[in-house]
Amino acid sequence: MMMEDIATAFPTIEILRNEPLAHYTHTKTGGPADYLAFPTNIQETKSLLAYANQIGLPITVVGNASNLIVRDGGIRGLVMILTKMNAITTDGQTVTAEAGAALIKTTQVAQAHGLTGLEFAAGIPGSVGGAIFMNAGAYGGEIKEVAVAAEILTPEGEIRTLTQAELDFGYRHSSIQDYNDIVLTATFALKVGDKTEIQAKMDDLNARRAAKQPLELPSCGSVFKRPEGHYTGQLIQEAGLQGYQLGGAQVSKKHAGFIVNIDHATATDYLDLIHHIQAVILKEDDVHLETEVRIIGEEPHTK
């Protein structure tokens, strides 16, 4: 399938060929996408999906690529990045955001309208779609507490609205992961609050985040899920792994739950370091660290 065919079919959509995904991931790593499209609305997303289904092209959907590792072999088929679908609207005590809207921006819109409930997400760097996909959370709050509905596109091309119950939220989980649906919009039910108090809480959480997390370096955010009865960063620290480096990837010296790109790291460096941490913690603490970061794409081809 030639690039010209897709470009001809969708002349108004930006579509790139063999585009390195390292340009878009927060780790600054990742191999190329065969085709990378940036739909700007729901209809374009639906049309791209229908076209890909028709010609048998695999589809991968990416939001803000913040909690994501793309392997160095890249992704075959069509990758859609939805960050150009980013409208945010309010209606009374609800905020509805398109999947590509930044979660941080969504919290700011809520604050501007005097709506409370999203403050915990004020510093989460992902998209709204990604937040629904993985039930993002921070500082004791989770998306499941405020998300009441999500408009989704099924792999077969049907647009449906899922209720909170149908989204089946769990710890870093939603039904979106189980059925490969594409999040189009999400609606959050909030409460009326005081704008100044809301902003103060957001400022406080962001200050705490900046003090503890290595925001100044490329990373994929929190790498591992929190194992029951333990704190991931503490386990890694006590195992003597803080500052441990493989290739250009390093266990952050600021927060051991993060892996940072300090010297032109590859996705393979990241994955090798993840596997090393898992092996050490399993041996020393008999705890299996499960990744929170989403890992997709193909292994690099070795010659």
Question: Is there a catalytic annotation at residue 219?
Answer: no
Q: What are φ and ψ of residue 148, in 5° steps?
A: -110, -15
Nearest partner of 267 among 255, 275, 277, judged by Cα: 275
Distance of CA 272 to the CA centre of its chain: 21
The one catalytic residue in 172, 174, 175, 219 is 172
Neighbours of 106 (CB within 10 A): 25
Sign of CA dihedral 191, 209, 226, 149: positive
Candidate list 66, 127, 175, 222, residue with the active-site label:
222
Q: Enter the tokens of residue 115.
A: 């709506």
Q: Give the SS3 label for residue 153.
A: strand
Q: Which residue has 């955010």 as its token pair?
A: 221
Coil vs helix vs strand at 179: helix
Q: Please report the DSSP string for 181-203 in residue order.
A: -EEEEEEEE-EE--HHHHHHHHH
Known catalytic membership, residue 172: yes
Q: 44, 119, 142, 292: which one is catalytic?
A: 292
By annotation, the residues acting in catalysis are 172, 222, 292
